Amino acid sequence: MQLLSLGTSWRGRVAARAGLMRTACSWWMALVAVLAGWAGLLCATPAHAGVMNRELMEKAFPSPLIVGEKDRDLPVWPILKQDATSTPVIAYVFESIDLAPIPGFSGTPYNLLVAITTKGEFMDVRVLSQHEPVFLDGLGEGPMHRFVDQYKGLSLKQNIKIGSNLNSGGKAGSANVYIDGVAKATASVRILNQSLLAASLKVARAKMGYAEGRDPDLVAHLRPDVFESMGWDEMVKAGLITRKTFRNRDVEAAFKGTVGEGLDEQGTRHGDDSFVDVYFAYLNVPSVGRNLLTPAGWKFMQSRLEEGDHALLLVASGRYSMLGEDFVRGAVPDRLTLQQQNLPLEIRDLDLDVDLKLPPSLRAAEWRAFRVIAPAGLDPAQALNFNLHVTRSKGQIYPERVTKTLGFDAQLPAKYFEAASSNDKTWRTSWRTRVGEVALLAIGLGVLAWALRNQLWLSQNSRRLAFFRTGYLLFTVAFIGWYAQGQLSIVNITALVQAVMAGRNLDFFLYDPMTVSLWAFVAITFFVWGRGTFCGWLCPFGALQELVSKVVKPLRLPQWRISERADAQLKKIKYAVLAAIVVTACVSVPWTDRLVEVEPFKTSITLVFARDWPFVAWAGGLLALSAFVYKGYCRYLCPLGAGMAIFGRLRRFDWIARRTECGTPCQRCRNDCAYKAIPKSGGINYNECFQCLDCVAIFQSEQLCVPLIAMNRKAARQIPIAAAVEKETVAPVQG
């Protein structure tokens, strides 16, 4: 009854304060802002700036190239080259940190030396400085330099995407270029890519008049919820279908003055007749596709499109075929091309074999649905510029050919798309590509929250608790750590400090969905359960240490006994390590990069021990130590754990049930606590508790809990008097 009462009381306290959960996240963000601002005031230093001067520029771009005078308004150096009697500008050179200082995971931006030609092509890209943890004594800088080398020869007019290298050969004419990423450094190379493109586009707009250059991720999105039942004529009136008529005289005018002039006798005689009528519509707009296709056809088309793809319908009627006799289904048309803001967009036949509801006048017309893939960056908010190419030839043996272009534009009405917002940056791509991982993490975090909420039920059976805890630790190491690379780190804190000092925003955190999701969950749990939710359940290296202890337990290795006084003193070390790292982060980025190596996380989790031997020896030694001193690194050295303990003081609940006998006189839980988080008083030191729930299991066990055993024995010794009298009365009768 007492146990039931305690459990009910605990649940009542949680329910009474459940309202705090709804504001926990906002409290956390406010606290971070205050602390970051305080750090910025204490450690204010000048923002990072470019390091290149004329002497260094001339070494980087030697003769026959000539380095001009640095622009007064924009930190750009013109590069000239002697051409006969003139010296034209052939390129512009700049440092990315001057134009797009996007912080990396250390809080410090990449600094890239970038040279782009006057045509918008990358002439050279070099890394001047970087402080990405994964490239510092991790993977090394080799993979990063190989990644950067891929930009040479590419153009700002192309959509440069990180992925499989499907189109590395088509540099000048292709709308899309995929460059190889770097395994285990996905977020870091995305930040590098964004820094490079953002800085380059600023220069291209200022120096080359680029209207073309735009962030391909800043595009509008179609609204799938907008649908109106309409016929063909109503769609034309609503602007959903665009019609363009080219007459014979228009074509003749295009060929005037060329060898193709006058070669079309029919066109010359009947100038007012139609050469070709072209109709265009976004087929994946519901008010178009669902009206022109059958329900089965609409469903089939949707199955052929990936997220972000567009299906463009083109219908042609008249003397001229928009496809040509040699067109192959599923291919890119030769006669029809598409551009948007002077950027080429590849259109490929979707090979859509469905019925199309065309008006009677167009039943004999040719039509095709073309796909523009999502990485092309087509923006429904901008006009599409179609070009229909007409070729004429003169001569028999060696004909002379001339091609002219008939252009027409199409614009989707605003009500059918949602305009891009300023937040649609490339970090959104990271979230879209990792939606499955984030979903699995969310499920795992939900399971953990349920388990901690139902700790009394979970720990009623020791085997149930052991099975659940071991399984969850394996999930943490294998999925959160090694697979999804979700190891939180002290680097996250130093990055926050350095970014605030430099006056930069914190968007760079969003490039890693796993880190953001974990920090959000941990921030909320600070208010509910304290520090131990992360350190005891969600830290991959902490979980790895505990699993090592479980594996070697059958070997009965001698455990180092640390006195209570020594344990208390050793636990202070991690706070000193944290203070040293945070102070260093304010004054020296290189020294911060060295000090954060006290964490073995990058070696053991991020790089899975594929690193230089000193780092592997340090991480391996700490794991070996855990076989003799239970999670010694977590308890005594971990600076992130120290930070978690500080924020864990925000905890609002004493959620581990205790009895009045705990500590006075019973010391069972205290003696069994491997973390030494239970003082002699019998309470719980939540700042050092890793939430293993062993003490909760003891609390409920009739075989382990001394007060519970005593209560049961006392109850057993109480002999019911009435029952005894009845027994004595009945006995003689039986005799």
Range list of β-strands (E), 399-441: 400-410, 417-418
Range list of β-strands (E), 54-207: 65-67, 76-81, 89-95, 111-117, 122-129, 159-162, 176-179
Spatial contact of 296 and 303, defined as CB atoms under 8 Å apart: no
What order of strands is seen across the sheet that includes strand 65-67? 65-67, 76-81, 89-95, 111-117, 122-129
Cα–chain center distance at 135: 19
**Rg of the chain in Å (alpha carbons):** 35
Burial 325-350 (b: 16+ CB within 10 A, else e): eebeeeeebebbbbbbbebbbbbebb
Task: Report the phi/psi class of residue 556: left, alpha or beta, with left for phi > 0 and alpha for psi in -120 to 50.
Answer: left
**pLDDT for 212-256, tens place per residue?**
445 555 678 899 889 999 999 999 999 999 999 999 898 888 888
What is the model's pTM? 0.57
| Dihedral pair phi/psi, residue 209, rounded to 5° | 65, 30
**pLDDT for 105-125, tens place per residue?**
777 788 999 999 988 889 999
With pLDDT > 90 as the criterion, what percentage of the chain qualifies? 29
245 membership: H or E segment, kind and range:
strand 242-247
Burial 559-584 (b: 16+ CB within 10 A, else e): eeebeeeebeebbeebeebbeebbbb
Beta-bridged to residue 344, according to DSSP, are 339
Spatial contact of 657 and 699, defined as CB atoms under 8 Å apart: yes
Q: What is the pLDDT of residue 35?
A: 42
pLDDT < 70: residue spans in the chain: 1-49, 137-138, 159, 163-176, 209-218, 375-376, 420-426, 429, 504-505, 718-735
Q: How far apart are CA 134 and CA 184, in angstroms?
A: 8
**pLDDT for 308-329, tens place per residue?**
889 999 999 999 988 888 888 8
| DSSP-assigned states of every residue in 316-327 | EEESS-SS-TT-
Q: What is the pLDDT of residue 333?
A: 85
Question: Running DSSP on this structure, what letter comes out for residue 606?
Answer: I
Spatial contact of 543 and 623, defined as CB atoms under 8 Å apart: no
Spatial contact of 144 and 129, defined as CB atoms under 8 Å apart: no
Cα–chain center distance at 544: 25
Q: What is the pLDDT of residue 241?
A: 94
Q: How far apart are CA 467 and CA 475, in angstroms?
A: 12
| Residue ranges per structural domain of the chain | 2-39+434-659, 54-208, 221-418
Q: What is the pLDDT of residue 603?
A: 85
How are beta strands 76-81 and 89-95 bridged, if at all? Answer: antiparallel
